[in-house]
Amino acid sequence: MERSTKFISLSGMSGIKAGIYALIGAYVGYKIVYTENSGLLYRDVYLSNPTIWWPLFLVAAVVLTLSVITGIWLTIKQARKKGETFWNPVSKRLLLNMAIPLVTGGLFI
């Protein structure tokens, strides 16, 4: 029988690490856009420069992948420590509710 609290034990550290990954990704993205060899100066429009798109896309993909993997790994680790199962109806619903905006945003972009 499922626990009556219906609470998935998401690790708080996974949110902190995702934020750290995002800060590092923002720094790397800034350095990609505003290096001297990119030819872009402060406040120049870089959306028309395809040589900037792919490195920024790669940085965003790495940040997303690291954040999701870290979140899953730390959540599984915490669930095992508490003696609970990770893959239950609540975690399935969480995965579906997280995937809908991610897929919609990806298709929109």
51 has a pLDDT exceeding 50: yes
98 has a pLDDT exceeding 60: yes
Task: For residue 103, tell me if it sits in a domain.
Answer: no
Task: For residue 70, tell me if it sits in a domain.
Answer: yes
Task: For residue 102, tell me if it sits in a domain.
Answer: no
Question: What is the pTM assigned to this prediction?
Answer: 0.72
Contacts of residue 39, defined as CB under 8 A and 6 or more positions apart, other chains included, come to 49
Task: For residue 24, tell me if it sits in a domain.
Answer: yes
Task: For residue 40, tell me if it sits in a domain.
Answer: yes
Task: For residue 41, tell me if it sits in a domain.
Answer: yes
* Locus of tokens 């996974």: 14
The answer to whether the CB of 72 falls within 8 A of the CB of 91 is: no
- 92 against 59, higher pLDDT: 59
Task: For residue 63, tell me if it sits in a domain.
Answer: yes
Domain span including residue 54:
12-84
Number of domains making up the chain: 1
Q: Which helix (H) or strand (E) holds 44?
A: none
- 95 against 100, higher pLDDT: 100
Task: For residue 18, tell me if it sits in a domain.
Answer: yes
Contacts of residue 3, defined as CB under 8 A and 6 or more positions apart, other chains included, come to 84
For residue range 6-33, what is the model confidence (pLDDT) as tens digits? 555 667 888 899 999 999 999 998 888 7
48 has a pLDDT exceeding 70: no
